[in-house]
A and B are shown apart, each in its own frame.
Chain A
Amino acid sequence: DTEVTQTPKHLVMGMTNKKSLKCEQHMGHRAMYWYKQKAKKPPELMFVYSYEKLSINESVPSRFSPECPNSSLLNLHLHALQPEDSALYLCASSQAPQGAGISYEQYFGPGTRLTVT
């Protein structure tokens, strides 16, 4: 089983709203990722969690706040977003974080289509 689930599938929010995206995997993976994808572009890395700790923040604005409550769950809290933040938000997981000379393939969820009005 290589399934990563994400909820909701679609989300429309105003610029003053607070919402959260959720991601779950039960593969025992210890690294989880958030990517942002604009139309006709490849995914762009936002955050990396390694063993439930934030290890990478790719200069993402503070209106995006990640959280990893346990090894199976990853949340992305949204607050005061801008219309340009509208995109497909993808969660991914891998067996472990990258190490010296070792890389693990990443499995993606179906994404949350976010529209900010």
Chain B
Amino acid sequence: GQQLNQSPQSMFIQEGEDVSMNCTSSSIFNTWLWYKQDPGEGPVLLIALYKAGELTSNGRLTAQFGITRKDSFLNISASIPSDVGIYFCAGLGGGADGLTFGKGTHLIIQP
């Protein structure tokens, strides 16, 4: 099946630092989505990207849909403690009806 390569697997940062994570795929997707999941909760949609090259912001979050339609990145500026969690990228439209997820990036903020 399709796979998304998401990196890094985990990040240990200081509060106030900027964060960057990305996903790459061997397949083309029509839509890229970024979710955040807290322990014991469902994934919450952060940003949806629909067009190749699209750059979208949501507060301190910025994400881009790669021009080749095979990659996307998510940046978080000036991290705060509530940013802790697991971030998943997901692709839609690569031939499957459900979401194809990356393996997640576990963000840990050190005091």
Query: What residues of chain B lie closer than 8 Å to A110, measured between beta carbons?
Result: 41-42
9-residue interface stretch from A63-71, A77-85, A98-106: A98-106
Q: Report Cα–Cα, A103/B99, bound state, in Å.
A: 10
B1-40 vs A, CB cutoff 8 Å, 1 = contact: the mask equals 0000000000000000000000000000111010100001
Q: Is A45 an interface residue (CB 8 A)?
A: yes
Query: What residues of chain A lie closer than 8 Å to B45, measured between beta carbons?
Result: 2, 105-108
Chain A contact residue count (CB 8 A cutoff): 31
Q: Given contacts A42-B102, A42-B103, A42-B104, are A109 and B42 in contact (CB under 8 A)? A: yes
Among A2, A98, A111, point to the contact of B92 (Cβ < 8 A): A98
Say whether B42 contacts A48, CB under 8 Å: no
Q: Report Cα–Cα, A116/B31, bound state, in Å.
A: 36
Say whether B101 contacts A43, CB under 8 Å: yes
Per the 8 Å Cβ criterion, residues 68-111 of B in contact with A are 88, 92-93, 96-99, 101-104
Q: Is A74 an interface residue (CB 8 A)?
A: no
Q: Nearest B residue to A107 by beta-carbon distance?
A: B45
Query: What residues of chain A lie closer than 8 Å to B103, measured between beta carbons?
Result: 41-42
Q: Report Cα–Cα, A110/B38, bound state, in Å.
A: 10
Q: Report Cα–Cα, A48/B33, bound state, in Å.
A: 18
Jot down 29 A-B pairs with beta carbons below 8 A, ordered by A. A35-B98, A41-B103, A43-B43, A43-B101, A48-B97, A48-B98, A55-B97, A56-B97, A58-B98, A88-B40, A97-B97, A98-B92, A98-B93, A101-B30, A101-B93, A102-B30, A102-B93, A103-B31, A103-B93, A104-B92, A105-B33, A106-B33, A108-B42, A108-B45, A109-B42, A110-B41, A110-B42, A111-B40, A111-B41
